[in-house]
Structure 1
Amino acid sequence: MNTEEQISLIKRGSVNLVNETELKEKLVSGRKLRVKFGVDPTRPDLHLGHIVPLNKLKHFQEMGHTVVFIIGDFTAQVGDPSGKDSTRPVLDKASVLANAKTYTDQAFRILDRERTEIKFNSEWLIPFTEFKKDSLSDFINVAKSVTVSRLLEREDFKNRMKQESPISLLEMLYPVFQGYDSVAVKADVELGGQDQIFNLLMGRDLQKLYGQPPQTALTMPLLVGTDGVKKMSKSYDNYIAFNDEPKDIFGKTMSLSDETMNSYYELLTEADMAEVRAAHPMEAKKKLGETLVEKFYGREEAVKARQGFEQVFSRNELPSEMPEFVIREPMKISQIIVAAGAAKSGNEARRLIEGGAVRIDSQKISEDGVFEPRDAILQAGKRNFRKIIRGA
């Protein structure tokens, strides 16, 4: 692949490239580039929105370059304001480390382990912010060169100021911390979502300050969440996680609107969009569900997920397998739903009942009454089935 072909592949599907001339010079040099991508572990799982940049990182690896995958264990405790209309809750260290535990294994479902460096940014950001015995911290020195007016150029900050929504000083400093990540790992290229462009450009500014060649900033489009409105985010709880069960990945895919489905095809697959649009929406959605399940679990699980969905929703049959719950004494139906793992809380269980989404032996339940122990089939929502067994 010559340089022009590499540039074409890198640009395909991207939103911003700053700048192309510099990137071409780096590629022509023939050296292995260090391509940076960072995630803050605000929840335990990576989600489909991460596939968009991860696929692009994979392209760089196939060209022989090294991916520097940064786990933001420090910055997750600050809270990235990108695209946010309010201050994000700050996580404690224990929660951040617990969430980060599975990130690397999930990333390696797409990335080449041999061409990936995993870094935690507390490694350099703690020393960066600490005062030294005989001098100011590096952070104080950097802060002298970053103006408040520059930070307030961010579109999301402008919007929040117009709405009189508070902006914490900590949030304003987030771009500086992310920018310093680029200095610490000597990044040649940084990838991010299109809402991250300010942070990526801050990385260029700080690299120049430290006498390093500025990184190329490459942004990718944001994948809309399953709600079809906001970007997919763990914080918005509108995501499909890498670690979701096959049936849940398939089921969530089937819940997408047709418009959202098309955007998933464009950003997550290499399917011919003319063929996708020509197909019946239901069949196209099922194929997308299969494709996504296969990416994480293989072809056999993808076929099983589709068959399981069709068995329950197309032919109105019961699943061939379902979790069991043993009941030995009378319980309220909402309590059974929670205890059986079909809802996270009593409030959620009662909302399901009030919304007509709970059935016992195919009979809709309209009140949260007391259930006497007996064998039965419980359905809570579209996809949650439990076999209730009367205990001795």
Structure 2
Amino acid sequence: MDKDLMLTDEQQRELEKQWEILSRGAVEIIPEDEFKRKIAKSIKENKPLKVKLGLDPSAPDIHIGHTVPLQKLRQFQELGHTVQLVIGDFTGQIGDPTGKSETRKQLSKEQVRENAETYVKQLFKVLDPQKTEIHYNSEWLEPLTFVDVVNLAGKITVARMLERDDFEKRFKANQSISIHEFFYPLMQGYDSVALKSDVEIGGTDQKFNLLMGRHLQKEYGVEQQSILMLPLIEGLDGVQKMSKSLGNYIGIDEEPNQIYGKAMSIPDELMIKYYQLVTDLPHEEVQRMVKGLQEQAIHPRDAKMKLAYTLVRMYHGEEAAKEAEQHFKTVFQKGALPDDIPVVELEKEQLEGGKVWIVKLIVTLGLVPSNGEGRRMVKQGAVKINGQKVDDLDYEVNIEQDMVVQVGKRKFAKIKLQ
């Protein structure tokens, strides 16, 4: 540590505590010694760090994959630091090309603003509003003149841009790259210049954009930010990154029973990662759970129920978590039917002599999106009629009043005949 940052014993203990908490779970910190120095300086001068996270509201809903960086920001807040939440209402109109094999569809300003309003409301389910600054990057990006934009573009080379993995792949595959896509990392980096951020947080897929912030801060004579990269979390399929478009997500605004039920379908091997990255449980409690699972002292089912309960409690409260747990036990463990089964009315014209092909029936009831998915669910033995499994693809169902059709563990429909 530099001589000008000599700390008292108490300050040194505080530094070690903050470093242990803030570095926990990070995949990479760039550069580590600089980040530690920033924390020390913050403690010595009693001046909070400005910690930036950029979010492009390309869709209105937040899922728990989005909360990985939010949980880390909450830790910064609890240690006295200030969060700079940048809502990319300007960059969101372009769309981050990271990980994309083609140019993203541009959103209108109205679409982005509408999504952003929903975003902010959900973000405060994790973050402390009193220690959060909300910024819209149109504040400093829209006023830039063409001369400003040319100067900004002059601070990076095309060769450097093509080092970025997704651009490089598309270039080599002769897939089109629009010039405006090159401006996305420049604009995200310029956000750090405008806000003079001390630290920026992001997923491992954002490394290029995060480094751009450091590069541009240096070019504009601003003290460079440190970068803290966090892991991406796989979705319910256990393979792909959690994504609403893939349907493998848990939305934080979903109904308690939905959150609980989805959490119970998380693959066992991902449970520890979920505990570590998306819950607000104390570190010591998480470590006890990890040890118990590794030593087989805790049954994976019990650990998963604790995880499901925690996620519902975080976003809907203790009472909702208790009710969701009881609902799960009643419906799925004891085999009872839920009280709130959706009722679907069928008209006689939809029935062919009172009989309907099983696949057509579950599609008509909205329990599966397509015949292909319907066939798959029947083959897997995931379809039940009045509690009886149906695994014959050619089965013709005799439709009866109040018949209950079930697909998987969570989808039910009760038939009413008109």
- For residue 127 of structure 1, give the secondary structure of its aligned residue in structure 2: coil
Give the drift of 1:67: 0.9
| Alpha-carbon distance change, 344 to 41 in structure 1, aligned in 2, over 3 angstroms | farther
Residue equivalent to 1:80: 96
| One-letter amino acid matched to 1:12 | R
- The amino acid of 1:151's aligned partner reads M
Using the alignment, how far apart are the partners of 1:44 and 1:347 within structure 2? 29
For residues 113-160 of structure 1, the C-alpha deviation after alignment (integer angstroms, 9 at most, x for no partner) is: 1111122222322223x53xxxx2x11111011111111222333344
Structure 1: distance between partners of 2:200 and 2:150 = 24
Q: Which residue in the other structure is 1:283 paired with?
A: 302
Tell me the residue number matched to 1:231.
Answer: 241
Structure 2 runs not aligned, ≥5 long: 1-12
C-alpha distance in structure 2 between counterparts of 1:236 and 1:182, whole Å? 31
The corresponding residue for 2:20 is 8
Residues 1:298 and 2:320 are matched in the alignment: no
The letter of the residue matching 2:131 is R
The DSSP-based 3-state class of the residue aligned with 1:32 is coil
Aligned-partner SS, 1:199:
helix
Q: Tell me how far apart the structure 2 counterparts of residues 345 and 123 of structure 1 sit (CA, whole Å).
A: 45
**Mapping of 1:2-151 within 5 angstroms?**
2-23=14-35, 24-25=37-38, 26-27=41-42, 28-128=44-144, 130-131=145-146, 136=147, 138-151=148-161
Report the Cα distance in structure 1 between the residues aligned to 2:406 and 2:113, rounded to whole angstroms: 35
Instruction: Choose 1 or 2 for highest CA Rg.
Output: 2
Tell me what 1:219 maps to: 229
Give, in whole Å, the separation in 2 of the partners of 1:331 and 1:258.
42
Find the aligned partners of 1:227 and 1:162 in 2 and give their Cα distance: 31
Q: Aligned to 1:377, which of 404, 409, 416? A: 404
2:194 is matched with which residue?
A: 184
- Equivalent residue number for residue 264 of structure 1: 274
* 3-state DSSP of counterpart to 1:198: helix
Question: Using the alignment, how far apart are the partners of 2:49 and 2:191 within structure 1?
Answer: 16
Equivalent position to 1:155, from 131, 140, 165: 165
Which residue of structure 2 aligns with residue 248 of structure 1?
258
**Is contact 1:48-1:239 (8 Å) kept?**
yes
1:323 Cα deviation after fit? 2.7
- Kindly tell me: are residues 101 and 339 of structure 1, through their superposed partners in 2, closer, same or farther at Cα, counting changes over 3 Å? farther
Please tell me whether the aligned partners of residues 377 and 385 of structure 1 are also in contact (alpha carbons under 8 angstroms): yes
Provide the C-alpha distance between the structure 2 equivalents of 1:320 and 1:84, rounded to a whole number of angstroms: 43
Tell me the CA shift for residue 94 of structure 1.
3.8
The aligned amino acid for 2:98 is S
> 1:46 and 1:310, CA in 2 relative to 1: closer, same or farther beyond 3 A?
same
Deviation at 1:390, TM superposition (A): 4.0
Instruction: Using the TM superposition, give the Cα deviation of residue 300 of structure 1 relative to its aligned residue in structure 2, in angstroms.
Output: 2.3
Contact 1:353–1:367, Cα closer than 8 Å, also in 2: no
Alpha-carbon distance between aligned partners in 2 of 1:261 and 1:71, rounded to the nearest angstrom:
30
Instruction: Kindly state the Cα deviation for residue 98 of structure 1 after the two structures are TM-superposed.
Output: 3.2
SS at match of 1:2: helix
What corresponds to 2:331 in structure 1? 312
Q: Which amino acid letter does the alignment assign opposite residue 123 of structure 1?
A: E
Q: CA deviation at 1:191?
A: 0.7
How many residues of Structure 1 are paired with residues of Structure 2 in the alignment?
385
Post-superposition offset of 1:93: 3.5
State how far apart, in whole Å, the 1-side matches of 2:133 and 2:383 are. 47
Mapped to 2, the partners of 1:371 and 1:88 lie a distance apart of 47
Give the partner amino acid of 1:187: S
Q: Which amino acid aligns with 2:15?
A: T
Decide whether the 8 Å contact of 2:71 with 2:277 is kept in 1: no
**Normalising by the residue count of structure 2, what TM-score does the alignment of the two structures yield?**
0.82
CA RMSD of aligned residues (A): 2.8
State, as a whole percentage, how many aligned pairs show the same letter. Answer: 47
Q: TM-score, normalised by structure 1?
A: 0.87
